[in-house]
Amino acid sequence: MMYNDLMLFYSFYFFAILLLLTYGQQTIIYVKRGDTVELCDNRTTFIYAYEYRSFDGKKNLIIEPTRHERYSNPYGTSLLRINNVIENDSGQYKCPQDDIEWQKLQVYVPVQHVYLTNMHTSTHMHNNEFCGNENNNCLAMIEGEPLDIICAADGSPRPALDISLDKNGTIPTIMALANGIQPPPIVNDQFKSSVYEAYRIIGLIPSDNGRNITCQVDMKHIDKKLILSTTKQLYMECMYKV
């Protein structure tokens, strides 16, 4: 009797694991803002209503295509077409007569801008032909001091960001500074940032002068081609003691 109960327990256990693997790892459908997407199977149905739930669970509603100009049933089946998708369309959708599976839709906006600059403007810096009047062409620093920089980008959902130096010379330490740095409403008078991070680079020496520092952002989990970067040269100024 105990043996049968044990076998029954393990049967339910492995069945639960199978359900988790089957339904717990749903595929996310990615679509670019402004494009058209089709959800649900092309099945015969007499119910043309779709459950919608936002990813944060704060918004739940029933979508009836006949009441929305961007939604339609083009084939008179269970398939749902959404035209000109926007970020608010992101979420989970349940198809008619489907009591289990939710389809996940993520609307994305590719990165258009990447911005790399000094965090602080040093009063010791002198303008030169390479850096320009406001050090726009380089990342300027004083020899012996750490280099604090800001990298910002747009894009939605939030892209991944990475700071790197070219491989010539030493291997300095790059560390992210503590959170709490507030981004400006508009970065460089061009864009609203979705990622805005500060980094400190320490261990730079005079021979590192002229090295390239790159800020790269990507959405490779959506498309391997969604990568954008900007690069500036390091300009190190020596402060001679009098």
- For residues 142 and 188, membership in a common domain is answered with yes
Segment holding 163, helix H or strand E: strand 160-165
Residue 22: strand, helix, or coil: helix
59: which 2 tokens? 């918004």
What pTM does this model have? 0.78
Per-residue pLDDT tens digits for 79-124: 999 999 999 999 999 988 766 788 999 999 999 999 999 987 655 5
Residue at 161 is within a domain: yes
Q: What is the DSSP letter of 132?
A: B
The last residue of a domain, from among 68, 89, 108: 108
Per-residue pLDDT tens digits for 2-59: 444 444 334 433 333 333 333 345 689 999 999 999 998 888 888 888 999 999 999 9
- How many domains does the structure of the chain reveal? 2
pLDDT band at 241; cut points 50, 70, 90? very low
Q: Are the C-beta atoms of 19 and 26 separated by less than 8 Å?
A: no
Distance CA 67, CA 76 (A): 15
pLDDT score for 127: 56
Calculate the dihedral angle through the C-alpha atoms of 102, 87, 49, 74, rounding to the nearest 10 degrees: -110
Between 52 and 170, whose confidence is greater? 52
- For residues 98 and 209, membership in a common domain is answered with no
- For residues 61 and 93, membership in a common domain is answered with yes
- For residues 176 and 157, membership in a common domain is answered with yes
pLDDT score for 2: 43
What stretches of the chain show up as alpha helix (H) in DSSP? 2-23
pLDDT score for 179: 67
Residue at 184 is within a domain: yes
- For residues 87 and 158, membership in a common domain is answered with no
User: Residue 80's domain spans which residues?
Assistant: 27-108
- For residues 82 and 175, membership in a common domain is answered with no
- For residues 171 and 231, membership in a common domain is answered with yes
